[in-house]
Structure 1
């Protein structure tokens, strides 16, 4: 039972439902390029990026498999070894990007957004939405690991 996240889901869906619809642009942006991104970045970094790296940096294959189970498809994003596009809402793609690192640097996991997200959400909603995606990826990956 995840009733603890119900208010967040309601908040996001309400904003989504009253937003001006915009088609994907194909232009990727970072969290900081969303309105309010600088203000919310520390929270976003702790609740999304660091959590993804802590959970998956030693198990990138599980992250990829989990993202694909959630409907993700592999795409090409310049400067990254792996990129998976996941629609977290019908008009909202998120790009999970991975730099596999090397013997000197650990893997780097990041999220990019289609610039159209700015028509739907500010950084606050985007942070919550990304956190929900992170929670789902982690929960599903743990379920998968139990089955192995």
Structure 2
């Protein structure tokens, strides 16, 4: 997919926004004329107004679709608070229309990678600062952005059913990012978790 146009639109929104407002609403601190962004174990500076991403320490280079996702988060100038109520992708606006691509991009890879050995999900999530929860046979929650958490759940295979999984979001999610961004975000999170086990 060609992300050039979407990246340009995201950069224009970033350049038009107030740096101080983005820091306040995103929860990411300012360092000079840049936002200091922690994302899935990596540390980045997003320069203002250029929108360039500078890597720190052992951070991985971010593909353009992930940069777009972060720019969308930074330029959402609302201060929605988490409700603590979890919802599925289908419950996001228009989510039921895109549930098949979401399942293909995020849930199926989660189950394929971790279903046979669910405890590896706990290990991988811990490396990204995630916490175990009490959902499913194994569940973890990662705070991907200061105001956005992703909850991943696995149910182990038994004699009747194969392994299965789900990915949930706080019910405040729709006020922070558009629905399609949550499909990208979930896919990026699962990819980061998979890399943590493959690097063992």
Q: What's the TM-score, normalizing by structure 1?
A: 0.86
Is the counterpart of residue 83 in structure 1 residue 139 in structure 2? yes
Q: How does 1:34-49 map to 2 (within 5 A)?
A: 34-49=92-107
Q: How does 1:52-131 map to 2 (within 5 A)?
A: 52-77=110-135, 80-131=136-187
Greater share of helix residues, 1 or 2? 1
Larger displacement relative to structure 2 (34-43 or 113-122): 34-43
Inter-partner Cα distance in structure 2 for 1:86 and 1:138: 14
Q: Which has the higher contact order (CA 8 A, sep 6+)?
A: 1
Q: Which runs of 5+ in 2 are unaligned?
A: 1-58
Contact 2:116/2:156 (8 A) holds in 1: no
Contact 2:115/2:154 (8 A) holds in 1: no
- Superposition CA RMSD, Å: 1.8
- How many Å apart are 1:109 and its aligned residue? 1.6
Inter-partner Cα distance in structure 2 for 1:51 and 1:75: 20
Tell me the residue number matched to 1:9.
66
Inter-partner Cα distance in structure 1 for 2:86 and 2:138: 15
Contact 1:67/1:84 (8 A) holds in 2: yes
Higher Cα Rg, which structure:
2
Q: Which runs of 5+ in 1 are unaligned?
A: none
Inter-partner Cα distance in structure 2 for 1:12 and 1:29: 20
- How many Å apart are 1:2 and its aligned residue? 6.8
- Once the two structures are superposed, what CA deviation does each residue of 1:52-100 show, in whole Å capped at 9, x if it has no partner? 11112111111221012111112233xx233211111111111111222
Query: What count of residue pairs does the alignment treat as equivalent?
Result: 141
- Once the two structures are superposed, what CA deviation does each residue of 1:114-148 show, in whole Å capped at 9, x if it has no partner? 1111111122100011111011111111112xxxx
